[in-house]
Amino acid sequence: MSNPFLEPSTLDYQLPPFAAIRDEHYLPAFDAGFAEHLAEIDSITGSGEPASFENTLVALERAGGTLDRVARVFFSNSVSHATEAVQELEQQIAPRVAEHEDNVLLNRALFERLRQVPVDGLDEESARLVEEYLRRFVRAGAELDDDAQATLRRLNAELSALSTEFSQKLLKDTNDSALLLGTAEELDGLSADAISAAATAASDAGHPGKYLLTLILPTAQPALESLTDRDVRRRLHEASVTRGARGNDADTLAVAVRMTALRAERAALLGFDTHAAAATDNQTAPSLEAIMDRMRELAAPAVRNARAEAAELEAEAGHAIEPWDWAYYAAKVRKAKFDVDLEALRPYFELERVLQDGVFYAAHRLYGLSFTERPDLAGYHPDVRVWEVFNEDGSGLGLFLGDFYTRDTKKGGAWMNSFVDQSRLEGTRAVVINNLNISMPGAGEPTLLSYDQVVTLFHEFGHALHGLFSDVTFPLFAGTSVPRDFVEYPSQVNEMWILWPEVIAHYARHHETGEALPQDVIDRLHAAGAWGEGFETTAYLGATLLDLAWHSLPAGTVIEDPLAFEAAALADAGVDFAPVPPRYRTSYFSHIFAGGYAASYYAYIWSEMLDADTVEWFKSSGGLTRENGDHFRRELLSRGNGIDPLEAFRRFRGRDAELQPLLVRRGLA
């Protein structure tokens, strides 16, 4: 059988031919891809013609097709469907990819040729491409001497291997830490569909007749809001916060410590004081100091609000609040203060209806999009579904894939990936996927979402829209290829449509009766919107400041006890409020040790400043209208990184973002 990666896919939109892909195709395709890419680069550097934009930059953008095709599929599968075979392959492939990237970015002949490319007369995106390539080569170490580059290669190779190790160990320990219960009585408080899902999970794991509460990636586990048995809540919480730190063969702490040390050493080699300084040097935030100042500015009022919330919870509970009590009593206080019971809303949030009549409907109203499911196009797993997305004029925009259910081979959390980037140069349109981790219901039962899962569905589709709407010439700038502290902004904006009157009236209907969610309930949801922001902001800032603490260590620092370091970092930052642990602890902080967010987890709240300001613009400009959608799409969502993202924001908004809307939203004004 021929290797399907060696030629561009002939499927619609160049969707990877998943039905033809086998594990044995990956290594030969990577081998061929590495060789092809290096040969193409040799052709660029060996040209006898003077360096020009066409024969250097355009040629470089066109290079590496085979490698790009196989890498996108393989590394998507390494987090979405990480079978034992894929994990074994990743251990071999990841260091070789790091080595190949160094072979490209440390290529002195290529760097020198890039520096010779004249920029006079180039259009805005082309001039930015030259600037971006030069910046990337310098940041990758192209100007270092041979000895320093050799050290850099060693560091990059080890970091790549360690990132894979962290990810695989965390997946194993997350699966192993799921809470197995023997009786349905221990699940008292959970809905019937949640109990059924726990029974299905236990049966699938080889424990028929029992119940398995699987873990999601963040500290807070959804079942804690409903479980009436306090000891079961405690056990579930402790299972969550001890993942990766249990001293077993899946312990991740030593890996995390080693990674932070290597990152610090690499940053020093590249001329930075710390990895945090290096990672934030090319973001939209003006400086690391500005980031730290903003996080500390938010921390004190956030913790103050969390303490006030805790006092209300203790009054309700009649005892001191432990971390495993918070969600349970917060639900009771929310019910008492606002008459809002989030668990009671689940029958109104059936997955298919929320997706079709909520997420897709909002995109139709705002941007004129329509969606047609394509069962003739296969995904990489039977759970994956494929939709073709059309513009209002009927032209094809791209493909959207959805992989919504959890499984043992999928890492926790939710994310968007791209299988094909839009590019006018290559004539390609976007193929993107959203991954969630929703529990599979029992056979024949509906998939009912929590309110948080509805938020996640809208959020991740905001990332998908950012990819689908890309309208750039060069692949390097496509879609979500923007600074880390900007990329969350479009996805956060898309959350605003969840409770928008025309949208929620269209999707929030009881899955059995078809009854619409009553307007008075929606009104109470709005009223309760700021309740709990003390907890949410404190938990988020705890993770953010922990990330920055790990990556502000100078080279040569030795951390003997990572958990003691974690506790001290939270205390030093003023976010060590015991009932509110950080959203992620070191041992399961996949974002920063296996996900590209090292020293960048601050990006969520930095992006939220733009988001909150944009929501105010939509509200003051008429809301869910085609005119507003077209303006947002044209000036911002379509731009990718083809222009400075903050300049794109200014063209959309007419000015820089203001902080006040965020402070009001978070209850910090």
Query: Position 623: which residue type?
Result: G
Rounded to whole angstroms, how far apart are CA atoms 78 and 509? 36
Evaluated on CA atoms 441, 234, 216, 512, the torsion sign reads: positive
pLDDT confidence of residue 302:
97
CA angle 353, 358, 364 (to 5 degrees): 125
Per-residue exposure over 559-593, b if at least 16 CB sit within 10 Å of its own CB, e if not: beebeebbeebbeebebbbebbbbbbbbbbbbbbb
Q: Which residues are within 8 A (CB) of 65 and not within 5 positions of it... i.e. 6 or more apart?
A: 8, 36
Percent of the chain with pLDDT over 90: 99
**Cβ pair 298, 612 in contact under 8 A:** no
pLDDT confidence of residue 1:
64
CATH 1.10.1370.40 assigned to domain 347-527+605-665? The reply is yes
**Cβ pair 380, 82 in contact under 8 A:** no
Rounded to whole angstroms, how far apart are CA atoms 612 and 665? 8
pLDDT confidence of residue 78:
97
pLDDT confidence of residue 550:
98
pLDDT confidence of residue 433:
98
Rounded to whole angstroms, how far apart are CA atoms 137 and 647? 24
> Stretch 459-476: mean pLDDT, rounded?
98
Shared fold status for 12-143 and 347-527+605-665 = no
* pTM for this model (two decimals): 0.95
> Tokens at residue 385, please?
């579904």
Homologous superfamily, domain 12-143:
Endopeptidase. Chain P; domain 1 (1.20.1050.40)
> Stretch 136-149: mean pLDDT, rounded?
98
> Stretch 639-665: mean pLDDT, rounded?
97
What single-letter DSSP state applies at residue 346? G
Convert the pLDDT of each residue in 223-278 to its tens digit: 999 999 999 999 999 999 999 999 999 999 999 999 999 999 999 999 999 999 99
Q: Catalogue the active-site residues.
A: 460
Rounded to whole angstroms, how far apart are CA atoms 548 and 291? 10
Q: What is the overall mean pLDDT for the chain?
A: 97
Q: Which residue has the tokens 């312990």?
A: 251
Nearest by Cα to 350 from 260, 464, 269, 447:
447
CA atoms within 13 A on the CB side of 594: 29
Rounded to whole angstroms, how far apart are CA atoms 553 and 559? 10
Helix residue spans in 14-123 (DSSP H): 26-45, 59-62, 65-80, 84-105, 108-116
Convert the pLDDT of each residue in 477-500 to its tens digit: 999 999 999 999 999 999 999 999
CATH class of 253-340+531-601: mainly alpha
Rounded to whole angstroms, how far apart are CA atoms 300 and 538? 9
pLDDT confidence of residue 529:
86
Residues in the chain: 669
Domain ranges of the chain: 12-143, 177-241, 253-340+531-601, 347-527+605-665
SS3 435: strand
Given a cut of 90, whether residue 669 has pLDDT beyond it is: no
> Stretch 633-642: mean pLDDT, rounded?
98
Rounded to whole angstroms, how far apart are CA atoms 22 and 41? 29
Rounded to whole angstroms, how far apart are CA atoms 557 and 620? 51
pLDDT confidence of residue 373:
98
Convert the pLDDT of each residue in 496-536 to its tens digit: 999 999 999 999 999 999 999 999 999 999 999 889 999 99
